[in-house]
């Protein structure tokens, strides 16, 4: 469902307002401010506020007064050094605040990343919207046989159609029962004057986990990178991965030098254990190494060979 006319008008009003400032600003991120980026079927993210830029990372690392006569390449080189050697504190000097609309089950995964400030829409105070996440057919998959928390083959035909129908019908039925228990319209007025209705804090228990919630989520760049490293990974659940991907697009505009370092040293990198490194040295020396004599488990061996592009080695 697209944003309502009132929501679009509010966003446009926010985007038209402005303020003079002496703090560092990033034109590409300023252009993103308040604009909603649609995700899934009813969700979105939008940037509400931010502090700092690539220069703030460098300034914190050097504890200097300003940029001086340094070149951009020097700053980028320092940021890459900090990322490469896992110096986290300078990245904590940058912060960003998002407004996120997301399914409840995605929010329950997301909240595991505890190094953030969160304020969520309150179903004790307000009535939840009648919006539910229904997967696209290509995302409707069976349980993976190899991964207890992953997906396998996509469901097809009548089975897929029946699952989608169940998801829609159950969510709609439970919401209708929720609304009946409340006995009130979204504006708080009673629907049936002959009964009181159940308290909102109790009625909400009947909602399905694919109902949408919203929150403001503020975090620093170091913890944001940790979130993205896990949730933008190919093994992450699709529904949270689309949010992480959209956040990464925002980070690329906000702190391009830090994003490039993160992409190289985190997203595009792999970590080898001491045992894996010993096997790699043996392979580079020309030794024929098999899993049985490597000291690695079958799973570790498979992960290492996959990273080296030698799955059948």
CATH (domain of 229): 3.30.1360.170
At residue 312, the pLDDT reads 58
* Domain-located, residue 293: yes
* Domain-located, residue 313: no
- In this structure, the answer to whether residues 124 and 184 fall within a common structural domain is no
Name the pLDDT band for 6 (thresholds 50, 70, 90).
Answer: confident
Name the pLDDT band for 148 (thresholds 50, 70, 90).
Answer: low
| Backbone torsions φ then ψ of 229, nearest 5 degrees | -60, -35
- In the predicted structure, residue 313 carries a pLDDT above the cut 80: no
- In this structure, the answer to whether residues 16 and 138 fall within a common structural domain is no
- In this structure, the answer to whether residues 93 and 232 fall within a common structural domain is yes
- In this structure, the answer to whether residues 225 and 185 fall within a common structural domain is no
At residue 141, the pLDDT reads 86
- In this structure, the answer to whether residues 7 and 86 fall within a common structural domain is yes
- In this structure, the answer to whether residues 63 and 149 fall within a common structural domain is no
* Domain-located, residue 285: yes
Higher pLDDT, 142 or 113: 113
Report the C-alpha gap between 204 and 189 in whole angstroms: 18
* Domain-located, residue 69: yes
- In the predicted structure, residue 142 carries a pLDDT above the cut 90: no
| Backbone torsions φ then ψ of 125, nearest 5 degrees | -105, -35
- Can you name the residues that pair with 143 across neighbouring β-strands? 151
- In this structure, the answer to whether residues 261 and 201 fall within a common structural domain is no
- In this structure, the answer to whether residues 95 and 197 fall within a common structural domain is no
Full residue range of the structural domain in which residue 247 is found: 1-128+212-269
At residue 69, the pLDDT reads 53
Separation in Å, CA 170 to CA 123, 163, 173, 177: 20, 10, 5, 11
Higher pLDDT, 134 or 148: 134
pLDDT tens column, 39-75: 999 999 999 999 999 999 999 999 876 655 567 778 9
Angle at 18 between CA 13 and CA 24, to 5 degrees: 135
The percentage of residues in the chain with a pLDDT greater than 90, rounded to a whole number, is 76
- In this structure, the answer to whether residues 145 and 93 fall within a common structural domain is no
Average pLDDT on 248-256 reads 98
- In this structure, the answer to whether residues 194 and 290 fall within a common structural domain is no
Which of 169, 191, 209 terminates a domain? The answer is 209
- In this structure, the answer to whether residues 119 and 263 fall within a common structural domain is yes
- In the predicted structure, residue 93 carries a pLDDT above the cut 90: yes
The percentage of residues in the chain with a pLDDT greater than 70, rounded to a whole number, is 95
- In the predicted structure, residue 232 carries a pLDDT above the cut 80: yes
Which of 209, 226, 252 terminates a domain? The answer is 209
Count up the domains in the chain and report the number: 3
User: What SS3 state is found at 98?
Assistant: strand
Report the C-alpha gap between 111 and 121 in whole angstroms: 14
Whole-number average pLDDT of the chain: 92
Higher pLDDT, 72 or 33: 33
At residue 17, the pLDDT reads 82
- In the predicted structure, residue 189 carries a pLDDT above the cut 70: yes
* Domain-located, residue 96: yes
At residue 65, the pLDDT reads 63
* Domain-located, residue 312: no
| Catalytic residue positions, numbered | 231
* Domain-located, residue 226: yes
Average pLDDT on 134-163 reads 84
| DSSP letters spanning 237-272 | -HHHHHHHHHHHHHHHHH-HHHHHHHIIIIIT----
- In the predicted structure, residue 115 carries a pLDDT above the cut 60: yes
Least confident of 16-20, 46-50, 203-207, 242-246: 16-20
* Domain-located, residue 239: yes
């Amino acid at each position: 469902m697209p944003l309502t006319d009132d929501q679009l008008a509010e966003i446009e009003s926010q985007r038209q307002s402005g303020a003079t400032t002496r703090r560092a600003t990033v034109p590409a991120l300023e252009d993103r401010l308040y604009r909603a980026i649609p995700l899934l079927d009813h969700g979105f993210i939008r940037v509400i506020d931010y502090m700092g830029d690539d220069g703030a990372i460098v300034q914190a690392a050097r504890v200097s007064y300003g940029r001086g006569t340094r070149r951009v390449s020097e700053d980028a080189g320092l940021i890459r050094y900090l990322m490469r050697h896992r110096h986290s504190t300078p990245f904590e000097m940058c912060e960003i605040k998002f407004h996120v609309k997301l399914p409840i089950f995605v929010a329950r995964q997301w909240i595991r990343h505890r190094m953030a400030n969160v304020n969520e829409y309150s179903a004790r105070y307000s009535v939840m919207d009648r919006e539910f996440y229904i997967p696209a057919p290509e995302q409707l998959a069976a349980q993976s046989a190899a991964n207890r928390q992953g997906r396998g083959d996509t469901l097809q035909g009548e089975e897929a159609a029946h699952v989608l129908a169940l998801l829609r019908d159950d969510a709609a039925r439970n919401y209708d029962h929720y609304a009946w228990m409340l006995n009130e319209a979204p504006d708080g007025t009673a629907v049936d004057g002959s009964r009181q209705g159940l308290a909102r804090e109790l009625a909400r228990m009947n909602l399905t986990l694919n109902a949408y919630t919203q929150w403001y989520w503020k975090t620093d760049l170091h913890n944001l990178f940790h979130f993205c490293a896990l949730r933008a990974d190919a093994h992450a659940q699709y529904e949270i991965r689309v949010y992480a991907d959209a956040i990464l697009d925002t980070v690329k505009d906000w702190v391009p030098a830090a994003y490039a370092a993160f992409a190289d040293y985190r997203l595009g990198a792999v970590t080898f254990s001491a045992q894996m490194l010993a096997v790699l040295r043996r392979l580079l020396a020309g030794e024929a190494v098999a899993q049985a004599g490597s000291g690695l488990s079958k799973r570790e061996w498979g992960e290492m060979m996959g990273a080296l592009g030698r799955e059948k080695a």
